[in-house]
Structures are given as C-alpha cells and as structure tokens.
Amino acid sequence: MSTIKEILHEKREATEYHIKQLQHEGKQGIRYTAMMPDIPFLILGLISDIGWLTHLIAGIIYFCGNGFRHVLDYAAFLALAGILFGVVYLIYLNKIHEKEIATKIQKNLSFGVTVYSGLAGAVIGILQLVLYAGASSELVWLTVGGVLNFVAGLPIYLSFKKGIFYGVQ
C-alpha cells in the first residue's frame, strides 16, 4: 500500500511542480485544487472509470443493435458523447499535469461533463426502460454504468476548492 501512496504522491508532486512553473511565469490563472486525499481519489476514480466504461460499452452495443428509433435515443447518444469528451479532456489534463489543480473551465469540462453525462445517461436509460417496456440488458448496463460514474465521480468533482493548495496527500 505504501508503494501505491508513493506513486500517487509523486504524481501529485509533478502536478504541483508544473503549477509552480506556471506561477513563476505568471500564467497559473485561478486554480481549483482537488482536496481529496490520494487513496480515496484513486478508489473513487477507478469506480467512476468502471462506470463510464460500462456506460460507453453498453451504449455502443445498444446503438449497434437498435440504431436510433426514438427521441430518447438521441439524448442517450448525447450523454455518451459527453462522457467521451469529458474522459478525453481528463486524459489531456493528466498529460499536461493539470488534472488535480485545474482552472474552473478545465474542472468543469473534465470531471463535470463526465459526471453529469453519466447522470444524464442513467436517467435517460431509466426513462427508456420505463417508456418502451424493453428491459434490454444493454439499457440496464447503461443505467448501472451511468449511476456508478455519477456516484463515484461526484465526490471528486465536489472536492475541488478554489485556490492552489500544495501537499494534499
């Protein structure tokens, strides 16, 4: 467990070093720091990852088999696109070492879009199950994935506090 903590702390230190460089150059802007300790951040992040992956895979399988037949299908597709956008943006922020200390727009476009797209997908999945009386396994998994994504991702999103705080472990 200490090895995992050390790896996570090194990653956080790389982010902090990058932000210090930006501060030195006067380019840091207004930042929001994830105040959640590294281990809970990792665990909730992994659960959220399982959720959005489940949501995405189930959605792809659903659309490949059923196509777009109802208005809610288009809304479900937008939720999938939101998840994909948020995840790609999170990967980008991780690459440039700004994931844990992000600007407001970065925080909202990454964690916010991913988390709330999961919620939207889950709600739309439930509506599809109820309205179309077709309890397909894809819709069930899409809903489960969206709920997991939302429930695990929301605490991370809400943990961001305005300001730059160093040494969060």
**pLDDT tens sequence across 113-167:** 999 999 999 999 999 988 886 678 899 999 999 999 999 999 999 999 987 776 6
Q: What is the pTM of this model?
A: 0.85
Could you give the 3-state DSSP secondary structure of residue 101? strand
CA 100 to the chain's CA centroid:
12
Instruction: Answer positive or negative: Cα dihedral of 155, 149, 92, 41.
Output: positive
Asked if residue 84 has pLDDT above 90, the reply is yes
Q: Which pLDDT score is estimated for 49? A: 95
Instruction: Answer positive or negative: Cα dihedral of 164, 89, 47, 8.
Output: negative
